[in-house]
A = this chain, B = another copy of it.
Amino acid sequence: MYHKRRSPPGSAPATLVPHSVDGDSRHPKIDAIFYDAGKLVEAHSHSIEEIFSKIGAARFAWINISGLGDLETLKSVATRMKIHPLALEDVLNLGQRPKVEEADDYLFVIAQMVYLNREKAFCHEQISMFIADNLLVSIQEEPEFDVFDQVRARLRAGRSMIRQSGVDYLAYAMIDSIVDHYYPVLENVGNRLDQLERLALTHPTRDLVEQIRETKRTLTQLRRLAWPMRELVSSLMHDTRSMLSKTTKVYLRDCYEHTVQLMDLIESYREVSAGLMDLYVSSVGLRTNEIMRVLTVITSIFIPLTFIVGIYGMNFSAVSAAGKPMPLNMPELNQPYGYLSVMAVMFIIAAVQIYLFRRMKWL
């Protein structure tokens, strides 16, 4: 249910365990964009040194590292940016709570991106960012899904706000993009809840229960991720150091409101989902009730009738062994209209019962 912490319990802090990776993905994919209002240079490489050598091509630099399989790359970054070993350990240990940490030389942000994979299952991925004066390094797993494409597009577009501002605004843009991507996931959950609600009312099956719990679990996880995302944005907003410009903070406020709205939505959905099991149980109860009604009606009508026909199947002799007539033994059997009378009586009994059941709304 959760990514596990990598280092075994009790090992020294800041123990770095690279991600076990297969084959050639050992070398992370590194993309860099060097930009300022005037120009933009892009670079792609597997060597962090090569990328570093190009810093200075423009005023601001954004280096994005995809893939956690190579410790050396990370250590190079750590050395250059004076990153604390504990921060580096957090980068490698997936499943961290989103958070902001201020160090002397950089802001360290861990965020959790959410998306639906190809099977429409809920996934989340950790994204770490180190924000220094003119350099932003973001680190993530080899992504199945990339939330930053639009940010790149806006960078390339030129003359946009993002080109004229520093890396703090770029960091905002990235975080905002991460927050924005919670919405389609939540919408999907919302649709699912509507569908489950309809099914719970009409087709309460065992299978449905599993789906309800699955959706609940997704919501629990979303909440567990979105809540600290809100704190993250909030603490960036209230950061008292000079790392973030005043303009960026105005935008962060907007982003903060989105996280509040997200939490609102998640709480509303949780409320809806909380009622689904009740709905299901009540629906099963109603079905049992209906089944019982059918059983009761049929049984109540036929059991007395069966008793009556049983009576006239008894073998009491009208004549004793000694040949004496015993007129009190089932004289009805010898009436010309006996059979018809019994049938009529039974018909009346059944009719009265049906009438009564109808009046009780059981039929």
List the interface of chain A (C-beta within 8 A of B).
1-2, 4-5, 9-13, 84, 86, 89-90, 95-97, 99, 147, 149-151, 154, 160-162, 173, 176-177, 180-181, 183-184, 187, 190, 194, 197, 201, 204, 206, 209-210, 213, 216-217, 220-221, 224, 250-251, 253-255, 257-258, 260-261, 264-265, 268, 271-272, 275, 277-289, 291-296, 298-300, 302-307, 309-318, 320-321, 324-326, 328-330, 332-340, 342, 362
The answer on a CB contact under 8 Å between B313 and A220 is no
> A279 and B213 in contact (CB under 8 A), knowing A271-B220, A328-B340?
yes
In the assembled complex, the CB of A86 is this many whole angstroms from the nearest CB of chain B, namely 5
**Interface contact B154-A12, CB-CB below 8 Å:** yes
CA A271 – CA B281 in complex, angstroms?
19
Contact with A317, one of B206, B288, B333 (Cβ below 8 angstroms): B333
A315 lies within 8 A of B317 (CB): no
Q: Given A224-B264, A298-B303, A314-B309, A339–B329 Cβ distance below 8 Å?
A: yes
Shortest beta-carbon distance from A209 to chain B in Å: 6
Shortest beta-carbon distance, A239 to chain B, in Å? 17
Question: Complex Cα distance A69/B362, Å?
Answer: 54
Contact B336–A283 (Cβ < 8 Å): no
Q: Shortest beta-carbon distance, A148 to chain B, in Å? A: 8
Given A201-B206, A278-B277, A284-B289: A294 in contact with B296 (beta carbons within 8 A): yes
CA distance A320 to B337 in the complex (A): 11
Q: Which of B90, B184, B302 contacts A303 (CB 8 A)?
A: B302
Question: What are 14 of the A-B contact pairs (CB < 8 Å)?
Answer: A2-B190, A9-B150, A10-B149, A12-B162, A224-B264, A277-B279, A277-B282, A278-B281, A294-B296, A298-B303, A317-B333, A326-B334, A329-B338, A329-B339
A336 CB, nearest partner CB in chain B, Å: 4
The residue of chain B having its C-beta at the shortest distance from the C-beta of A219 within the complex is B271
Write out the residue numbers on chain B whose beta carbons fall within 8 Å of the beta carbon of A154. 12
A334 partner residues in chain B, CB cutoff 8 A: 317, 320-321, 326
